[in-house]
């Protein structure tokens, strides 16, 4: 981590502080049974936490128990894909716009900018 000094530094996320900046993104593990965690699932995430991940994002399906979440995520990803087909820098341009817009009311809490026209 010496090559990336910020990677090992704490990160404040609202009222919580992560011990480092290693974030495991959500993905389907297919280890759940009847919308409940199994011992395999718990062991999987425990190993990731012991390996250094300070923040772990889990499947949204587990929280909602609805296949509509999977459909919605496909639609959202398709929208992003189509936007990037026309302009590959779409998200970079969007983030630049957000950085220059006025701060939203929740800026003090989240310490990030929200879109506020």
C-alpha distances (whole Å) from 10 to each of 7, 19, 33, 109 are: 8, 5, 34, 17
State whether 16 and 35 are in the same domain.
Answer: yes
State whether 69 and 113 are in the same domain.
Answer: no
Pairing of strands 11-13, 55-56: unpaired
State whether 79 and 32 are in the same domain.
Answer: yes
The CA distance from 92 to 115, in Å, is 15
pTM for the complete prediction?
0.48
State whether 82 and 96 are in the same domain.
Answer: no
Domain membership of residue 1 (yes or no) is: no
Q: What is the pLDDT of residues 5-54, one digit of tens each?
A: 888 899 888 888 999 999 898 887 888 787 777 899 889 989 999 999 99
State whether 103 and 77 are in the same domain.
Answer: no
Q: What is the pLDDT of residues 81-95, one digit of tens each?
A: 888 888 888 888 877
Number of independent structural domains in the chain: 2
State whether 21 and 35 are in the same domain.
Answer: yes
Q: What pLDDT score was predicted for residue 116?
A: 47
Q: What is the pLDDT of residues 60-110, one digit of tens each?
A: 655 666 778 778 888 888 888 888 888 888 888 877 877 777 666 766 776
Residue 55: partners with Cβ closer than 8 Å, 6 or more residues away:
11, 13, 18, 22, 23, 24
State whether 75 and 98 are in the same domain.
Answer: no
State which residues form the domain around 96: 92-117
């Amino acid at each position: 981590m010496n090559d990336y000094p910020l990677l090992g530094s704490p990160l404040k996320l609202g009222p919580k502080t992560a011990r480092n900046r290693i974030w495991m993104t959500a993905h389907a593990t297919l280890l759940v049974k009847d919308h409940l965690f199994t011992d395999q699932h718990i062991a999987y995430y425990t190993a990731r936490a012991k390996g250094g991940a300070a923040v772990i994002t889990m499947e949204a399906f587990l929280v909602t128990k609805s296949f509509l979440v999977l459909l919605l995520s496909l639609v959202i990803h398709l929208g992003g894909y189509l936007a990037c087909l026309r302009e590959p820098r779409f998200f970079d341009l969007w983030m630049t716009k957000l950085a220059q817009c006025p701060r939203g009311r929740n800026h003090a809490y989240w310490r990030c900018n929200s879109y506020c026209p």
